Amino acid sequence: MSSVELQTLLAKLGHLYIELTEIERQILPIISRLRSVIGEILGAEQVRPVATPVRAEAEVHVAAPSRLIMPAERPRAAPEVRRGVTLDDVYAVLVEIKEELESGLRRRPFRDHRFVRAPNPITYEGNSFDLGDTYHTAMIVPTVDAQIEINRKVEPTTPEVKAFSALNISDTAIRTIHYKSTSPELRGELLLWLLKY
């Protein structure tokens, strides 16, 4: 699941959390008022309605308007509840989240892979290798200590990859690999295992 898909999913879960919290917060006074009205009709002793619980500040802070519109407090009257979030709405959101989770967590098989040796050697001056296609996962092994970047030039701050260590890149659109050795006396080869969806 990409970071964008994860953020979208988390936003939907945040909105669902707020809606469920709002339902929970607002259902208690409705039940209390309804019980009070029924008690009056039956002549039962009045019990003071329970106050609406206050939501803690530390709960989720996702800005979303409440979809429930609650009636004002009316003595001796049954509560009016306007159309708000229903169980069907909640069910639909849960089904949508379930489908999104299933599609996001399903691992896609790779359609193709390729083992290749970069045609230009690793030198202190630096080289690059255009793969000729976009790959999504790569295992990159330099034969000397080198700095390696994906789709952009090597910078002085680019981390060093030790000789014969594998740099593993996944879930990234890889088209060009830029590389250079860490010192002028080092010269070697770049070995690649590339896979694409």
119 and 75 within one domain: no
Among the residues of the chain, which ranges form H helices?
3-42, 87-105
The tens digit of pLDDT for each residue in 62-113 reads 444 444 444 445 555 555 555 566 777 777 877 777 777 666 555 668 888 9
How many whole angstroms separate alpha carbon 26 and alpha carbon 34?
Answer: 13
Backbone φ/ψ region at 43: left (φ over 0), alpha (ψ -120 to 50), beta: left
157 and 99 within one domain: no
119 and 55 within one domain: no
The total of structural domains in the chain comes to 2
127 and 59 within one domain: no
Q: Who wins on pLDDT, 24 or 165?
A: 165
Q: Please give the residue range of the domain that contains residue 118.
A: 112-196
Q: What does DSSP say about strands 160-161 and 127-135: parallel, antiparallel, or unpaired?
A: unpaired
56 and 35 within one domain: yes
Reading across the β-sheet that carries 112-117, which strands appear in turn?
112-117, 190-196, 137-142, 167-169
61 and 43 within one domain: yes
At residue 99, the pLDDT reads 73
How many whole angstroms separate alpha carbon 9 and alpha carbon 40?
Answer: 47
- Would you say residue 40 has pLDDT above 70? no
81 and 31 within one domain: yes
Tokens of 36: 């009070």
- Would you say residue 48 has pLDDT above 60? no
At residue 185, the pLDDT reads 95
At residue 123, the pLDDT reads 96
User: Which of 105, 121, 138 is the last residue in one of the domains?
Assistant: 105
The tens digit of pLDDT for each residue in 149-185 reads 999 999 999 999 999 999 999 889 999 999 999 999 9
Sequence-separated contacts (24+) of 21-25 with Cβ below 8 Å: 21/55, 21/59, 21/60, 22/66, 22/67, 22/68, 22/85, 23/68, 23/85, 23/90, 25/52, 25/53, 25/55
User: Which of 105, 124, 157 is the last residue in one of the domains?
Assistant: 105
- Would you say residue 131 has pLDDT above 50? yes
14 and 98 within one domain: yes
- Would you say residue 57 has pLDDT above 50? no
141 and 79 within one domain: no
User: Which of 105, 135, 153 is the last residue in one of the domains?
Assistant: 105
Task: Calculate the alpha carbon distances from 40 to 27, 46, 84, 194 in Å.
Answer: 20, 7, 27, 76
At residue 143, the pLDDT reads 96
At residue 158, the pLDDT reads 94
- Would you say residue 51 has pLDDT above 70? no
81 and 166 within one domain: no
In degrees, to the nearest 5, what angle opens at C-alpha 150 toward C-alphas 147 and 153? 65
pTM strictly above 0.75: no
91 and 13 within one domain: yes
